[in-house]
Amino acid sequence: MEKQKLVMIGNGMAGVRTLEELLKLAPDHYEITVFGAEPHGNYNRILLSPVLSGEMTLPEIMLNDLDWYRDNGITLHAGRKVVGIDRRQRVVTADDGTVASYDRLLLATGSNPFILPVPGRDLPGVIAYRDIADTETMIATASAHRHAVVIGAGLLGLEAANGLLLRGMNVTVVHVGDWIMERQLDRTAGGMLQRSLEAKGMRFLLAHHTSELVQGESGRVAAIRFKNGDSIPADLVVMAAGIRPNIELAKAVGIQCNRGVLVSDTLQTFDPAIYAVGECAEHRGVAYGLVAPLFEQAKVCANHLAQFGIGRYTGSVTSTKLKVTGIDVFSAGDFSSADGTEDIVLHDPGLGIYKRVVVRDDKVVGAVMIGDTADGSWYFKLLKDQQDISNIRDHLLFGQHGLGDVGHKGETVAANLPDDAEVCGCNGVCKGDIVKSIKGNGLFTLDEVRKHTKASSSCGSCTGLVEQILASTLGGAYQTTQSKDKPVCGCTHLSHGDVRTAIREQHLLSALQAMKVLDWKTPSGCASCRPALNYYCLSSWPHEATDDPQSRFINERAHANIQKDGTYSVVPRMWGGLTTPGELRAIADAAEKYAVPTIKVTGGQRIDLLGIRKDDLPAIWADLNKAGMVSGHAYGKSIRTVKTCVGSEHCRFGTQRSMDLGVKLEKMLFDMYSPHKVKLAVSGCPRNCAEAGIKDVGVIGVDSGYELYVAGNGGIKTEVAQFLAKVKTDEEVMEYSGAFLQLYREEGWYLERTCHYIERVGLDHAKAQVVNNATRRRELFERLLHSLQGAKDPWAERVEAERTSALAREFQTLEATA
């Protein structure tokens, strides 16, 4: 097939990101030509301010250098401006006469700075702040002149002012509004920011309207005059009073425009052969100026250009999390104090901290923060997900406390960390490595940082910190990616919730069937989605769905835990942590027979045999089975253990028979697979020797019965279990616990622990289903028992299969014979 021709007008971040996405999806579909008015490759416009202030250099902010275009076979006409489009013939013409024909045209012309229509606006020394050339002019001017005036106290203006200040100029910021950054900040926050900037030497003239720029003797600008008659000296005037979508060309050739070029949800203009993305486009009445939404548009546009046609852009909720000249600022949503809203405010002028969260109907609708913005992305997530905050309202302002604190002792402000501070303890990644990778590789999202640096890609406890580093490195370009609608993985655009609903509604019975029916983009998924799909099918359709062993992680396939050297560890089940001389003897015999190098008592009151070769697994299982022991499931996203204390059987303080109850619970839940691992504990009294306070389900015996706690976690981030209910009998404990776990099995996302599940849906939801509604509780409990009915020991099954099935000796290493 002959390649189609794609021409892109504009060579900025949104457009080039579209090309990158397109090349990933359909590398050979188009012959691509790019026209850019600037004589450079694609650079990170957001980082122009560090260049101005001297913290970075131009080569450091290049995202795609000229080699990138060459390597991807893209023809780049840099420094050539397109002046005409012939929509009939599908040809574009540049100012130097270059022509290019297209099958698809992509407009990514960005925006133009708004130049105040005042006398003197064309004088030498009057510039905008938009591109590399402007930045270079400012740097040159700073070394020869003294007085700079910046018109506009938005983000761009303040950054320009700061850069010029650092370059040694005398800087005054002129603003028409009553306070600075009024689109992002309320009056209090604006005032605080202004005072801290004034402390650095910046001067402000608020509520000042410019009337004229006055020419000096040298011919360049010399002063600025205001409507009130005052004037101040100015050798350099930077216009930063806003941007306007650059739609001149589109308008001239009759493409429908409003404020920007009008586009549909597939980023197409009224001419379906012509697409538009980025700051020049207007989608559902909004023209975006932040990078994150533009990247979302790029994804959808690329998807459509690649003729996949499954993506739709439905608009973005934006937040601003940025560093204005060293001061952390965050804002999102609506904070205008409209009717029906309530403000929750924490204001400490001494510490320079201001946090205001605006709430309507128990939902966050806006937030403004200055000084301490660590929890900005959390508030933004609450806002985007429309989460009910009535439960957490009393401590909402104190933040999520969800930041990683492993190895950095609760250090929560990423900006203060030195470069050699270890951020990711699992993979040994320091802050400096992350910052370098973000800048060097042009990364914008958490997922990209995970891929490139491995930080936060293992246990995830440092995710909050990594997000902060992203935010402080990128400034306004950063947008949190967490959301309910996040796709399961790159193989689909569906979220966990979507997939599970589809499996339930369309009666899908295997991972492979689900991938086919749900239009998976990859032929056989990946290591992230297949185990999830397999679990969702099995948990939605117990006894009906087909388990696909190849869609399970090796531990669940081999019923043992893989170790770093490729050997396995075997943990026989000891119900409730109880054992007998006979069992211990069998374990000792097996350990000797298979030369087990390490024997260790686990945290869950079991015995772990480590260092067993895969070939030996079926044999050691057969031996342990003979002594009456079964698999301990120490390897699975499944019921792990029920830990117990000795309780009233022996203990002088015990109030309940905790060992008995533990054994009963563990037998009931045997072979229960779940979104993630599940651990229980039963303590016989509130001294809680079984540590029930950090378990998925914790039971604490008291004189009058049992207290039930759920959603605790002793791992990555210690979470104290929350009180669910108080019950009287063993039977009630089993029913309540079982119903809670079934709810989690039906609603939890794959690899979501109970603590994260409850954080997402709220404890009240679980209480409503399990505690307050007896019918619902019994239904859940019955569904759990139904799905666990006839559970077999996976070891015994495997041993049996070894003797009978075609793939019988799958665990055995093959020998090569000539």
For binding to other proteins (CB under 8 A), which residues are involved?
441, 451-452, 457-458, 522-527, 530-531, 549-551, 553-554, 558, 562, 564-566, 614, 806-807, 809-810, 813-818
Q: Which is nearer to other proteins, 52 or 494 (CB)?
A: 494
Question: How many degrees, rounded to 5, is the angle at CA 151 between CA 166 and CA 444?
Answer: 65
Nearer to other proteins, 41 or 531 (CB): 531
Residue 817 beta carbon to other proteins: minimum distance, rounded to whole angstroms: 5
Distance CA 303, CA 161 (A): 40
Rounded to a whole number of angstroms, the minimum distance from the CB of residue 814 to other proteins is 5
Minimal distance in Å, beta carbon 438 to other proteins?
13
1 versus 816: smaller Cβ distance to other proteins: 816
**632-663 per-residue burial string, b: 16 or more CB within 10 A, e: under 16:** bbbbbbbbbbbbbbbbbeeeeebbbbbbbbbb
Do 642 and 682 touch, CB atoms closer than 8 A? yes
Closer Cβ to other proteins, 531 or 654, answer by number: 531
254 three-class SS: coil
Cβ neighbour number for residue 29 with a 10 Å cutoff: 17
Q: How far is the CB of 816 from other proteins (least distance, A)?
A: 4
Closest approach of Cβ 457 to other proteins, in Å? 8
Q: Which is nearer to other proteins, 483 or 524 (CB)?
A: 524
Minimum Å gap between C-beta 532 and other proteins is 12
Query: Do 329 and 193 form a contact (C-beta atoms < 8 A)?
Result: yes
Write out the H or E segment, with its range, that includes residue 423.
Answer: strand 422-424
- Residue 614 beta carbon to other proteins: minimum distance, rounded to whole angstroms: 8
The beta-carbon contacts of 687-694 under 8 Å, at least 24 apart in sequence, are 687/653, 688/645, 689/645, 690/643, 690/644, 690/645, 690/658, 690/662, 691/643, 692/721, 693/720, 693/721, 694/718, 694/719, 694/720, 694/721
Q: Are 30 and 6 in contact (CB under 8 A)?
A: yes
Helix (H, G, I), strand (E, B) or coil at 99: strand
Closer CB to other proteins, 534 or 683, in the complex: 534
Nearer to other proteins, 537 or 665 (CB): 537
Q: How far is the CB of 71 from other proteins (least distance, A)?
A: 13
DSSP per-residue letters across 669-732: TTT-B-SS-EEEEEESSTT-TT-GGGSSEEEEEETTEEEEEES-B-SSS-BPPEEEEEESSHHH
DSSP string, 181-240: TTTT--HHHHHHHHHHHHHTT-EEETT--EEEEEE-TTSSEEEEEETTS-EEE-SEEEE-
Minimum gap (Å) between residue 747 Cβ and other proteins:
25
SS3 state of residue 111: strand
Q: In angstroms, give the least distance from the CB of 807 to other proteins.
A: 6
Paired residues of 88 in beta bridges: none
CB-based burial of residue 587 (10 Å sphere; 0-12 exposed, 13-18 middle, 19+ buried)?
Answer: buried
Could you say which DSSP state residue 622 is in? H
List of residues 6+ apart from 495 with CB closer than 8 A: 484, 485, 486, 487, 488
Residue nearer to other proteins on the CB measure, 385 or 448? 448
615 vs 573, 628, 681, 807, CA distance in Å? 21, 22, 34, 14
* Residue 270 vs 553, nearer CB to other proteins: 553
Radius of gyration of the chain (CA): 32
User: Is the Cβ of residue 104 or residue 530 nearer to other proteins in the bound state?
Assistant: 530
Query: Shortest distance, CB of residue 297 to other proteins, whole angstroms?
Result: 25
Tell me how far, at minimum, the Cβ of 728 lies from other proteins, in Å.
Answer: 46
Shortest Å distance, C-beta 562 to other proteins? 5
**Least separation, in Å, of the C-beta of 550 and other proteins?**
4
Q: Which is nearer to other proteins, 454 or 767 (CB)?
A: 454
* Coil, strand or helix at 389: coil
Residue 351 vs 527, nearer CB to other proteins: 527
* Residue placing its CB nearer to other proteins in the complex, 601 or 816: 816
What residues contact residue 434 under an 8 Å CB cut-off, 6+ apart? 423, 449, 453, 455, 466, 469, 473
Q: What DSSP element (H or E) covers 249?
A: helix 248-252
Shorter beta-carbon distance to other proteins: residue 6 or 435? 435
Taking the complex as a whole, how short is the minimal distance between the CB of residue 748 and other proteins, in angstroms?
21
Give Cα 20 to chain centroid, integer Å.
20
> Least distance from C-beta 488 to other proteins, angstroms?
14
Q: Given the complex with other proteins, which of 88 and 564 has the nearer CB atom?
A: 564
Rounded Cα distance, 266 and 261, in Å: 13
- The helix (run of H) or strand (run of E) holding residue 500 is helix 496-505
Q: Which helix (H) or strand (E) holds 52?
A: helix 48-53
For the bound state, the minimum distance from the C-beta of residue 558 to other proteins, rounded and expressed in Å, comes to 7
Which among 535, 530, 532, 555 has a CA at the least distance from the CA of 545? 535
Q: What is the DSSP letter of 802?
A: H
- Cα(816)–Cα(818) distance, integer angstroms: 7
| Beta carbon nearer to other proteins, 448 or 779 | 448
Closer Cβ to other proteins, 409 or 564, answer by number? 564
- Across 500-512, b (16+ Cβ under 10 Å) vs e yields bebbeeeebbbbb
